[in-house]
């Protein structure tokens, strides 16, 4: 699994003309899933995300986690995170998991994050044409790949 984590002051997802998710201070997580991903990848990433100390403390130092600030969370599936761009100019998405694998893994990811945070999280709709709007706070943007833990 690969995630792009963005610290935001606000973020939302719109499908068609309807806003389906919206948060204020917290994290926008874009998540890409490959066929090799397992529940171990989900658990490792979820633990990392909720404990990642990227919010400012009283001294302006990034010392606080999403848990510490009781921040909100918006999760959006994004298969393009696994684009292969080595050959030619058209990205290949062959590494991205098909929907039979990706949808249950995506739902597991969202449910585990909600469980760790002890609250509901916002999310986009898997496979939908979504418009994601955000105000990146900092900006702070971090990528993590569960297949590169070292």
Spell out where 55-113 has E strands: 55-56, 62-64, 72-77
Segment holding 112, helix H or strand E: helix 99-117
Half-sphere exposure of 2 (CA within 13 A, CB side): 14
Segment holding 90, helix H or strand E: none
Vertex 18 angle, CA 121 and 7, to 5°:
40
Catalytic residue IDs: 78-80
């Amino acid at each position: 699994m690969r995630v792009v984590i963005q610290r935001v002051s606000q973020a939302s997802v719109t499908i068609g003309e309807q806003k389906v998710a919206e948060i204020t201070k917290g994290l926008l997580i874009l998540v890409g899933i490959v066929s090799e991903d397992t529940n171990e990848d989900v658990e490792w990433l979820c633990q990392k995300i909720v404990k990642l100390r990227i919010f400012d403390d009283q001294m302006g130092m990034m010392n606080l986690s999403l848990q510490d600030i009781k921040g909100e969370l918006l999760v959006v599936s994004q298969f393009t995170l696994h684009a292969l761009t080595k050959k030619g100019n058209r990205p290949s998405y062959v590494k991205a998991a098909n929907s039979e694998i990706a949808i249950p893994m995506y739902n597991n990811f969202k449910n585990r994050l909600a469980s760790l945070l002890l609250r509901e999280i916002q999310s986009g709709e898997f496979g939908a044409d979504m418009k994601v709007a955000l105000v990146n706070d900092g900006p702070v943007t971090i990528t993590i790949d569960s297949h590169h833990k070292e």
